[in-house]
Amino acid sequence: MMDAVMSNATGLEIAVIGMAGRFPGAGNIQDFWRNLRDGVESISFFSDQELSAQGVDSALLQDVHYIKARGILDDIDHFDAPLFGFSPREAEIMDPQHRLFLQCAWEALEHAGYDPETYAGLIGVYAGVSASTYLLNNLAVNHELMQAVGGYQVMIGNDKDYLTTRASYKLNLEGPSLTLQTACSTSLVATHLACQGLLSGNCDIALAGGASLRVPQKSGYLYQEGGIFSRDGHCRAFDAQAQGTVGGDGVGIVVLKRLADALADRDFIHAIIKGSAINNDGSLKVGYTAPRVDGQARVIRAAQIMAEVDPDTITFIEAHGTGTPLGDPIEIAALTQAFHETTSRIGYCAMGSVKTNIGHLDAAAGVAGLIKAILSLEHQQIPPSLNFEQPNPQIDFAHSPFYVNTRLAEWKANGTPRRAGVSSFGIGGTNAHVVLEEAPAIESSPESRPGQLLTLSAASHAALEKATTNLVEYLKQDSGHALADVAYTLQLGRRALNHRRMLVAHDQADALQALEICDPKRVFTSFQEPGHRPVAFMFPGQGAQQVNMALELYQNEPLFREDVDRCARILQPHLGLDLRSALYPNETQREEAAQQLQQTWLTQPALFAIEYAVARLWMAWGVPPQAMIGHSLGEYVAACLAQVFSLEDALLLVAARGRLMQELPRGAMLSVHLAEQELRSRLATNLSVAAINAPALTVVSGPPDAIELLEHQLSAQGVDCRRLHTSHAFHSEMMEPILKPFLSHVKRVTLRPPEIPYLSNVTGTWIKAAEATDPDYWVQHLRRPVRFADDLQALLERTQVLLEVGPGQTLTTLAKQHPAQAAKPIVLASLPRSQDRQSDRAYLLHTLGRLWLAGVSIDWPGFYASEKRRRIPLPAYPFEAQRYWIDPPSSSKQPGRSAPAAPPQKADPADWFYVPFWKPAALPASLKSEAKP
């Protein structure tokens, strides 16, 4: 199918990548399709008691011409004001059309999988709205409110002009923001203009649609013979008994994108807009509100020509279909004229009207029909058009390409892509037509990393719980989408709000099991105040090395593997071997490699390579260090990332440092639970303080026999101490013989001022440019004690998120035990401890999730740089709607609800919606000539 679609590509196609809507009987798109598929008529019929409660005069209720029916929405008085930053008063005075449009805009973008806060392109809004009856019936008559709030604020909240610009403001959309009005065709005209905006490059994504809500909702209408409204509250489009339509409320939005971009970005495509057109009937018709065959036929044909589609291949028409005795025959005559320009086939194209299900939605009518056609293409089914028994005798179906589809039918492709046309015609003659085509077939989802990070967020804990429940229900349905695509969409396609939850899951069943019970050992939840959360990297020193450290990352993360490979290539002439043979040996060489990694000449280059590669991976994922701290060798990694050394120079120095140390006599090191000054008084002259890791944790370095003697003495005094697994006495006087040789190496490299701040082991505070660029500093760094406790104190005064970057968790432990812990920093490790036997990959994902929980911004596209994932439709945000409503003053009689002064008159014959059809014999001539009277 994809070949058939793409072979007919014009380069002007627009993809529909998301939708949202509220329609009578349907709170979302899924319910809407279910009702369409099942042939549900969602028109409400009201009791006298319901209407009386809305203030309808009892005399009007007794009038046989008063039809007590409409298509209505639930809870139009409710809105999630806090989510959008509205005060209660602002929400109360805002037209519910604007409020629901705003919520649907949020939902439509989520359905498309895009968060405007992180999307780099321009997002435009094209839409229209019906007149504000909330303003007329509830606000304007409330004089105290108007005086208290002010007319300007009321206007801002209710006038048509501010529908789209408010959505752009609240959602941070920077593309064109156009409110337009063409009566009933408004939202389909908006769709056409949105397509043009995309094709002209004014935006990269466009929202198009409309909203129409009448207040009060529970109200009827006076039937007039020949008028637009039906005698009995049912719309019978194209039927012999058709006498008009019935009003309805609704909001609908589609999300559009250039097809080429949507395919490149692997968006979920619901359908393709192949072409669209708009025009106006002009004056050659019987009246301003009357339709015109030629005008409609031209716009239909223009859309087909733009689409470069043969009408023979269009097998469904979602018609304007108001069910008026004059409008329906004119519409079929126009369609037939347009189709018969290139085909003589008859009876092959199904048609229907969504107005038979939900009524006429005025400014939202066009987008409702568009969404119906899109859903029909997506599900490959044509839903029934309701209330059709016998065709209107003025419609010549027998010699047309069309038939009214009255039952749910399989939509067969018949050798070409499924295609549909959608029409919408407005009072005043602005016509719109859109040609749709089914979405191209997509390739199966590619393989992903083992394990997935699922993220959820909401504006409140209650909404987070509901979002979790909705995700569980979605996963239970087994949509067929890969869990990796679920994770991808949640990460890229949802705004990161303050209440957050994360889980690392192996597969869908694992995710369901953990989320259903919200397993506290695996599902982590937090609340974070908004704001930037800088991260500091901590690089460990010698002692954390082991065979196969970060092996899973090397196997599964291309960026990590590339950096390790690069380090190995640079180091090979300095080491005389391929570093990877020691890091990741085969099983027969494992023992030999383990012994090699205990040798300082290889340990230090190996640790540097792993720490450097892990750091670069974090940076590629959007977690750059705002500050850094290293322990001994770890400071070299920090300096390299800060651009003090190039990678080549850093590896040269690390290899030389390790080799020179290896040539020294063996030494030993002892970690002692005493403060530096207290311990110094107990040291022999041949022992040195090598590191101050905490205020009461100091490392001593020196000859093995002297260290052994000190260990016995301290143990006898009840002082806790522990021998470290090292081969040499680092940071002691035993390093003296290699200071000058090492200085000669440092002098051969280029040293630059640091571009990222980091802590100095030598001074215990922030490195200065003069120090970093002084070769003697690096010599002193080799000899002087590591003042890590002081460094950590300085770091915690600036940064509250610490991330250990490298194997093991030694620095994580030190940071958590530091007295500055009273500031409650978030301390995380990149990799598990060797004894934990956990998956490197899963642990790293878990840490990524914990960083996100802490409020750290993640570059999700960078995270997926090596994968081709796609966005998929997922459950929408669970709005926490509360009632924000101004009721009309109870004493006032609202316009249009009192009894009429005289019986209703027949409609004006010049108005096409109201033409009394009492002279059927005259219709064919008027259809042919349409001459101005």
Could you write out the DSSP letters of every residue in 514-568?
HHHHT-TTT-EEEE--SS---EEEEE--TT---TTTTHHHHHH-HHHHHHHHHHH
CB 447 within 8 A of CB 12: no
Coil/strand/helix, residue 464: helix
For residue 556, give the nearest of 448, 395, 423 by alpha carbon.
448
DSSP character for 703?
A: -
CB 295 within 8 A of CB 431: yes
- Catalytic position from the list 192, 270, 320, 499: 320
To the nearest 10 degrees (0 to 180), the angle between helices 647-662 and 739-746 is 170
Q: Which single residue is written with the structure tokens 């403001």?
A: 169
For residue 625, give the nearest of 298, 856, 865, 353 by alpha carbon.
856
What local confidence, expressed as pLDDT, does residue 824 receive?
A: 78
DSSP character for 770?
A: H
* Catalytic residue status for 640: no
Query: What is the spatial distance between Cα 576 and Cα 37, in angstroms, rounded to a whole number?
Result: 72
DSSP character for 447?
A: P
Query: What is the spatial distance between Cα 130 and Cα 217, in angstroms, rounded to a whole number?
Result: 14
Task: Give me 130's structure tokens.
Answer: 């019906």
Query: What is the spatial distance between Cα 458 and Cα 782, in angstroms, rounded to a whole number?
Result: 50
The DSSP element (H or E) to which 757 belongs, if any, is: none
Rg of the Cα atoms in the chain: 36
CB 369 within 8 A of CB 422: yes
* Catalytic residue status for 846: no
Query: What is the spatial distance between Cα 254 and Cα 699, in angstroms, rounded to a whole number?
Result: 65
Query: What is the spatial distance between Cα 419 and Cα 400, in angstroms, rounded to a whole number?
Result: 18
Task: Give me 99's structure tokens.
Answer: 């409020």
Q: Which residues make Cβ contacts (< 8 Å) with residue 903, sequence separation at least 6?
A: 65
CB 271 within 8 A of CB 254: no
- Catalytic position from the list 376, 632, 732, 926: 632
Cis status of the peptide bond prior to 216, with omega within 30 of 0? yes
Q: Which single residue is written with the structure tokens 């009856």?
A: 133
- 415: exposed, middle or buried (Cβ count in 10 Å: 0-12, 13-18, 19+): exposed
Query: What is the spatial distance between Cα 579 and Cα 561, in angstroms, rounded to a whole number?
Result: 13
Side-chain half-sphere CA neighbours of 21 within 13 A: 35
Left if phi > 0, otherwise alpha if psi is -120 to 50, otherwise beta: which for 544? alpha
For residue 111, give the nearest of 860, 861, 874 by alpha carbon.
874
CA distances from 614 to 514, 558, 645, 860 (A): 28, 12, 18, 17
Three-point CA angle 318, 104, 881, nearest 5°: 135
- 573: exposed, middle or buried (Cβ count in 10 Å: 0-12, 13-18, 19+): exposed
- Catalytic position from the list 98, 130, 184, 781: 184
pTM for this one?
Answer: 0.91
Query: What is the spatial distance between Cα 701 and Cα 669, in angstroms, rounded to a whole number?
Result: 4
Dihedral sign (CA 394, 400, 402, 406): positive
The type of residue at 828 is: L
- Catalytic position from the list 360, 631, 731, 846: 360
What local confidence, expressed as pLDDT, does residue 907 receive?
A: 44
For residue 322, give the nearest of 283, 290, 300, 280 by alpha carbon.
290
Q: Which residues make Cβ contacts (< 8 Å) with residue 711, sequence separation at least 6?
A: 670, 721, 723
**Averaged pLDDT in 10-residue chunks for the chain of 933 residues:** 55 97 98 98 96 91 95 97 97 98 98 96 98 96 92 95 98 98 97 98 98 95 90 96 96 98 96 98 91 96 97 97 94 97 96 98 98 98 97 96 98 94 96 97 82 96 98 92 96 96 96 95 90 91 89 95 98 96 92 90 96 98 97 98 98 97 96 95 94 96 96 95 92 96 97 98 98 98 97 91 95 89 82 86 96 95 92 97 93 40 41 31 39 31
Beta-ladder partners of 212: 250
Query: What is the spatial distance between Cα 320 and Cα 239, in angstroms, rounded to a whole number?
Result: 14
Query: What is the spatial distance between Cα 540 and Cα 834, in angstroms, rounded to a whole number?
Result: 14
CB 455 within 8 A of CB 849: yes
Q: Which single residue is written with the structure tokens 């040291």?
A: 683
What local confidence, expressed as pLDDT, does residue 478 receive?
A: 81
Query: What is the spatial distance between Cα 132 and Cα 136, in angstroms, rounded to a whole number?
Result: 7
* Catalytic residue status for 235: no
Query: What is the spatial distance between Cα 291 and Cα 216, in angstroms, rounded to a whole number?
Result: 30
What local confidence, expressed as pLDDT, does residue 7 receive?
A: 55
Q: Could you give phi then psi for residue 2, rounded to 5 degrees? A: -60, -40
Coil/strand/helix, residue 822: helix
* Catalytic residue status for 42: no
Other beta carbons less than 10 A from residue 893's beta carbon: 12
CB 176 within 8 A of CB 124: yes
What local confidence, expressed as pLDDT, does residue 893 receive?
A: 43
Query: What is the spatial distance between Cα 271 and Cα 908, in angstroms, rounded to a whole number?
Result: 41
Query: What is the spatial distance between Cα 140 and Cα 138, in angstroms, rounded to a whole number?
Result: 6
